[in-house]
Structure 1
Amino acid sequence: MSETMTDNPYGDLFRLDGKRALLVGAGGIGREAALALAAHGARLVCADKDAATAEETAASAGGEALALDVTDRAAVQRAAGEVGPVDVLVLTAATNVRKPILDYAHEEFDRVVSLNLAATFTVLQAFGRGMVERGAGSIIVFSSVRGQVVEPGQSVYAATKAGAIQLVKTAAAEFGPAGVRVNAIAPGVVETPLTAQISADPDWYRAYATKGALGRWAKPSELAGAVVFLASEAASYVTGSTLMVDGGWTAVDGRFTPPT
């Protein structure tokens, strides 16, 4: 007799029913991640520094909204107590100042590091503590291809994204014995407000599109599947990893296609 769907242990592999997920950074990629998590059964808390963004995404995903500035350590600690236990944590919030090192202002350096790296540590610590105490959970931090490869003008952003990967690996090592998984997602070029400067320049846009193997930019929705995977039991033995969702950007050597 053939196996029925109810007997197949893989039928619900990506389901998140009964799971509570906190999404930090509710616009752009974060909004699509929230919709995908909700579609698979998760109950969402959507947090963002901009209250309107949090509320809009929460309304779309059928979840709760939370106004939260993750660069405010005290506010993050309070939120960890107010939100209560979460099974899934997704952190997408980031910023960038694109300038050569010699032109970088210390205030700009501090602003990028404060959000991209220091806040990642704060959020990992505040919400990871509860997950470790309960002995379960999945944490997903957004890094970037810039954590692996760089270009002029990306020094501080790239350093923070590489640093986020190392925080993820360390948290995976420390939280793993308690049953908590910690992973990173590294997108390539995605059409979001953060990349508006590039997409507004036709030559720049085209150069980035042709750098990857797929020859195009990503839509924010194309990152959502990776989030669901890492949040779900489908990734039950995946931790300390960086999932490259970059259209082959880091797989391709150079920008010239030689004759074959």
Structure 2
Amino acid sequence: MTGYEGLFRLDGRRAVVIGAGSGIGRESALALSAHGASVVCADRDLPAAEGTAERCGGTARLLDVLDPGAVRACAEEAPADVLVFTAATNVRKRLLDYSGEEFARVVELNLRASFDVVRAFGAGMVERGHGSIIGFASIRASVTEPGQGVYSATKAGLVQLLRTAAAEFGPHGVRVNAVAPGVVETPLTRQIKDNPAWYDAYAAKSALGRWAQPQEMAGAVVYLASDAASFVTGSVLYVDGGWTAVDGRFDPPN
């Protein structure tokens, strides 16, 4: 296929999606498969990964990203043309209430594990001379609120990690980008989604006046994975319903 009609096609490419068992990861795997990629669905919940793999005709793999050796083994055994990773955690507490254990837990998954993933899969891409790495940051990388300090810090750190990888891997033909969602109905946000006051307040904050569904992140993933984004690297693509563009929702009278 030649010309613009094939811009978003991923035929002949292998995509590894880490966190494919649910939420944004699952929808990313389904979307990449729909555009022609063969997909490895990796997750620490193997039955969930198997469920996604069955739906997209891919393969499932048990992967705990907190185990650096397992991450390296996955990268060696399933070399990727496209890597998507979504794994993250959050402890919503104000800084003065945070424990050292909670801080370490959030940093370990959101930042240290991301460092291991980018290095492990990036090394193979650099060697082969091509690839696209897509990490999931958050609006919290640039805007925050009380109770989000550590999570925000890790997501800001992830953005800079990915930008640095873009700078270092770019000369070898590897692109590295971040997607920054707003509020999305996923297992990570269940705590606030189940509170009507929180849910309504968050919905009102975006320009579109609602939460996102996980499948609404899939287009950004396909775009960044594909040749449509062949000159896009080191970027943060906000898929936030206008959250970061809107400073409050007060609509003054004419």
1:75 lines up with 2:70 in the alignment: yes
For 1:29 and 1:231, locate their aligned partners in 2 and report how far apart those are by CA, in whole Å.
Answer: 15
The 1-side partners of 2:195 and 2:121 are apart by: 40
Equivalent residue in structure 1 for 2:56, among 51, 57, 61: 61
Q: Distance in 2 between matches of 1:178 and 1:156?
A: 33
Which residue, out of 185, 203, 207, partners 2:197?
203
**Residues 83-232 of structure 1 aligned to structure 2 (within 5 Å):** 83=78, 85-232=79-226
Q: Which amino acid aligns with 1:45?
A: V
Query: What does the per-residue CA deviation read over 1:154-205, in whole Å, with 9 as the maximum and x for residues that have no partner?
Result: 0110000000000110000000000000000000000011111111111111
Structure 2 unaligned blocks of 5 or more = none
2:30 corresponds in structure 1 to 35
* Count of residues in Structure 1 that have an aligned counterpart in Structure 2: 253
Q: Of 19, 28, 47, which aligns to 2:42? A: 47
Shift of 1:126: 0.4
Q: Deviations over 1:74-128 (max 9, x none)?
A: 1111212222x21000011111100011111111111111110001000000000
- For each residue in 1:40-69, what CA deviation from the matched residue of structure 2 results, as whole angstroms up to 9, or x when unmatched? 000000100111111111111110111000
The normalised TM-score by structure 2 is 0.98
When the two chains are superposed, the root-mean-square deviation of aligned CA atoms in Å is 1.0
Equivalent position amino acid for 1:61 in 2: C
Give the Cα–Cα distance (whole angstroms) in 1 for the partners of residues 54 and 42 of structure 2.
Answer: 12
2:16 counterpart SS class: strand
SS at the partner of 1:98? coil
Aligned to 1:236: 230
1 CA distance for matches of 2:198 and 2:132?
36
Equivalent residue of 2:5, what SS?
Answer: coil
Task: Name the CA distance, whole Å, in 1 between partners of 2:253 and 2:139.
Answer: 27
Structure 1 counterpart of 2:71, one-letter code: V
| Partner Cα separation in structure 1 for residue 195 and residue 250 of structure 2 | 21
Structure 1 residue 241: deviation in Å?
Answer: 0.1
| Residue 3 (structure 2) aligns with | 9
Partner AA of 1:72 in structure 2: D
- Segments of structure 1 that go 5 or more residues without pairing to the other structure are 1-5
* Structure 2 SS opposite 1:21: strand
